[in-house]
Amino acid sequence: MTFVGVVGARKYKNKQSITDFVNGFPVDSILVTGSCKGVCPWAGTAAKARGLRVKIFSPNLNNTRSKFEIVQRYYQRNQQLISACDVVHAFISKETGLVGGTKFEVEYAIRLGKTVFLHREDSIIERICQKALPFSNYSKELSDGWMNFFLHTLA
C-alpha cells in the first residue's frame, strides 16, 4: 500500500493528463490530495472512479480573523498532506511555473526526505529523490569511483 500525494497548480490545464496518471496507479494505492480547484479534485475524481481510496486534506478555516490566518491554515494543511505521503507528484503549470502552495509542498517534501516528481504541462517529468543513501556518511572510506557508481546506480 502506497500513499501517493498529488498536488498542483490551480492554473494547470491538462485535466486528461491527471486522469491518465491516476489510472496508472497500482490498485493498492491511496491517493492523498488537497481540496483546491484543478489538479486535486481531478485526481480525486479519477481515483474514486477506479475504486481507489482517497484522503483529502482541507484547511481548517474555523475562527480565522485575517487573510494571514487563512494563508497560515493552508500551509498547515499542506504540511499535513505532505507528511501523509510516501511519494509526491506535483503538477506544474506552464503559465506560472513552480509557485505558491505547490512550491511549498515540494520544498517541504524534500525537507522530509520524500521522493518528489515534478510533472510539467509540457510533459517533462523531473524526479527529485531525497532519500539518504546508506553509505553517505562514509564517503572517506569508499573510493570516489565506488561512490560515483553507487550514486548513479541507486539514483
pLDDT single digits (tens) 66-79: 999 999 999 999 99
In DSSP terms, 92 is beta-bridged to 120
pTM: 0.79
Phi, psi (rounded to 5 degrees) for 129? -110, 120
In percent, how much of the chain has pLDDT > 70?
Answer: 83
Contacts with 148 (C-beta within 8 Å, 6 or more apart), sequence order: none
In DSSP terms, 6 is beta-bridged to 33, 89
Q: Is the pLDDT of residue 139 over 70?
A: no
In DSSP terms, 4 is beta-bridged to 31, 87
pLDDT single digits (tens) 19-78: 999 999 999 999 999 998 999 999 999 999 999 999 999 999 999 999 999 999 999 999
> Does the structural domain 3-154 have CATH classification 3.40.50.450?
yes
